[in-house]
Amino acid sequence: MHRTGHEEVHPGSPWLWTILAGAVVVALATWWIRPQSLSCGTASPAATVITLPAATAPSSVTPQQIQTQEWQPAPEQGEARFYAFSQNAACSLPDLPLDGYYVGVPTGQYDGSAPCGSYVDIDGPLGSVRAQIVDRCPGCDPGQYNLSRSAFEAIANTADGVAAIRVSHVRDPDPAPELFYRVQQSSSPSWIGILFSGTGNPIAQVFLRPDASGDYRPLRRGDDNYWSISGLGSGPFAAEVTDIYGHAAFVSGITIEPGQVRRTGIHLYEIPADPPVTPPPPAAQAAMTTVAAAPSACKP
């Protein structure tokens, strides 16, 4: 059979177009589900915050204040002997035990019984002792002291007979003794003599007045350590007793009962109590807190 130039040309096979269409669909699907590149903000690093306790302003008050020492008489160098002590001592103090620690002072220092009943600390070659001034030593030169045997034995060897000493007058001996008094034997409504002791310190002055009312009147001190006044009446009386450091005590209800020792329950001074020790407050602990910033949201 012969072909002419007008023969009809047929398109390609249908299966080829099907393959091309499928490839296009696969390519579109692949592009659509491809992995996305996420855009995330960079999170701030974790922050650590340390909270310190509030600063406390320094205080001028310490937990325990050191008390200021009051003036004390300066120590003196001297010489001690001992003697046989008896109840008939110049200061007329009642009921003194014979084996107590006592000292007799030179006449110039005795000064009309001015130091009677006060105390001295005595340092010697073998030790120290606190002794009460209860007597006068007429034969002693300035700086020489007569000690009771018990007092001398506490500071030196009695075989030596004499000892070099250092004497310190005691202010406000601790514990504070109890104030007591005794009315002199010859007292009456027209004249009264009264002895005060248990003061710890040397007495500076005694005043007396009727217990009900009236002005205090000063008494005169005698060499026997009694204070006296005339014309005050039959009592009862009130007394004001002061020492050389300015302490004062008031005693009421004094009656004329010669020879009787009356204890008052009063102290001429008070020994201050040690202030309590306040522990410092516990130190506040520093608080540490870690704060982490939240991550930013990621965007495709």
**pLDDT tens digits for range 85-97:** 998 999 999 999 9
Could you tell me where in the chain the CATH 2.40.40.10 domains are found? 76-169
Range(s) of the chain covered by CATH 2.60.40.760: 180-263
Rounded CA-CA distance 229/241 in Å is: 15
Q: How confident is the model at residue 289 (pLDDT cuts 50, 70, 90)?
A: low
Q: What integer pLDDT is reported at residue 272 of this predicted model?
A: 83
CB within 8 A of 192, min separation 6: which ones? 183, 184, 208, 228, 229, 232, 235, 237, 256
The two three-digit tokens of residue 88, written as one number: 């008939």
* Residue 56 Cα distances to 21, 164, 207, 208, angstroms: 85, 56, 54, 56
Nearest Cα neighbor of 118 from 42, 264, 266, 225 is 225
What pLDDT was estimated at residue 54? 54
Residue of 291 and 245 predicted with greater confidence:
245
Closest to 102 measured CA to CA, from 160, 47, 152: 152
Q: Does domain 76-169 have CATH number 2.30.30.90?
A: no
Position 46 scores a pLDDT of: 54
In tens, the pLDDT along 215-231 reads 999 999 999 999 999 99
Provide the pLDDT confidence category of residue 1 given band limits of 50, 70 and 90.
Answer: very low
Pick the closest to residue 124 from 97, 161, 98, 96 (CA basis).
Answer: 161
Q: Looking at residues 102-107, what average pLDDT do you find?
A: 98
How far is the C-alpha of 243 from the C-alpha of 170, rounded, in Å? Answer: 13
Q: Which of 101, 104, 122, 106 is nearest to 166 (CA)?
A: 122
CATH architecture of the domain formed by 180-263: Sandwich (2.60)
Cβ proximity of 263 and 178 under 8 Å: yes
Residue from 94, 110, 104 nearest 149 by CA:
104
pLDDT in the model for residue 172: 97
> pTM above the 0.75 mark?
no
pLDDT in the model for residue 213? 87
**Gap between the Cα atoms of 299 and 151, Å rounded:** 104
Question: Which 8-state DSSP code applies to residue 107?
Answer: H
- β-pair partners for 249: 241
